[in-house]
Amino acid sequence: MTSAMQNDAKVDNLLSKPPERKSGIAIWRQIADSLRQQIAAGRFSNDDRLPAEFALAQEFGVNRHTVRAALQALGNEGVLESRQGQGTFIKRRRRLTYPIARRTRFSEGLASQSRATRALLLEHAIEPANIDVAGALDLTPGAAVIRLETLSEADDMALSCSTSWFSDARFSGIQHSLENTGSYTKALALHGVDDYTRTSTKIEAQHAAGDDLRHMRLSPGAIVLVTLAVNSDSKGQPIQYSRTRFAADRVSLTIENDPV
């Protein structure tokens, strides 16, 4: 199932709308957001070349320079590439789908859509569990937990930043296992967890902030899908609590249920 609404009568959410002024969002950014979304939704799919800057300016009802600012922002994100004398071309169109299911595995879920996925360890620390982490992991607040900050990539495209918590008592040193294997599943296997299941997922969306902007090369105002997830071992004991921020213009989440 792909994103609907294309070539439909009710396309307000996809087609170029006149940008709003005095909205607190610069027009060039509104245009960048609109183009990014249209590209992900499959517009300009005949060839990879965008209309000329002047044509886009007319379409959005703005000056050519304003469109240029939008194209420059999308160029910095790695979505577009402008070539003098030739035009502006789409560099990255695809939006990966990340399946959420009882058996959710980062690499496996994306394996069919990309060549190489990996989790890069950015930072790790041992800290006392706050009330939320303790609740999710079934520990007492204040118990020592390992916090891992990771950046996940598929085919050299940054997809998500994740914060994970593990009980230090049970998974001491797991940061080394993750660093060596680049995979949570393999790291957990090294600590005696042969199988685990996703028992709970909460999904929110917000603006990207802080280090995430830098790590995923997002521009301010970009959106992240936030999942708050609990993984449990085969006995039902929660082993991992994570807060993952997915770049919303590169990933969509899917949930499949068997009928009846």
Q: Which of residues 3-42 bind DNA (CB under 7 A)?
A: 21-24, 26-29
Q: Which of 51, 63, 55, 82 is nearest to 21 (CA)?
A: 63
Cβ at position 86, least distance to a second copy in Å: 26
By CB under 8 A, the count of residues binding a second copy is: 83
| Burial class for 235, CB neighbours closer than 10 Å (0-12, 13-18, 19+) | exposed
**Cα distance between residue 63 and residue 78, in whole Å:** 23
By CB under 7 A, the count of residues binding DNA is: 27
Which entry of a second copy, DNA, none binds 84, CB below 5 to 8 A by partner kind?
DNA
Q: Tell which one of 32, 41, 50, 216 touches DNA (CB under 7 A).
A: 50
Site string for a second copy, 24-43 (x = CB under 8 A): xxx-xxx-xxx--x------
Site string for a second copy, 193-232 (x = CB under 8 A): ----xxxxxxxxxxx-xxxx------xxx-xxx--x-x-x
**Cα distance between residue 139 and residue 121, in whole Å:** 24
Q: Is residue 246 a contact residue for DNA (CB under 7 A)?
A: no
Q: Cβ contacts of residue 240 below 8 Å, gap of 6+?
A: 137, 164, 165, 166, 184, 188, 196, 229, 230, 231
Q: Which helix (H) or strand (E) covers residue 33, if one does?
A: helix 27-40
Which entry of a second copy, DNA, none binds 224, CB below 5 to 8 A by partner kind?
a second copy
Residue ranges in contact with DNA by CB under 7 A: 21-24, 26-29, 50, 52-55, 62-63, 65-66, 68-69, 71, 82-88
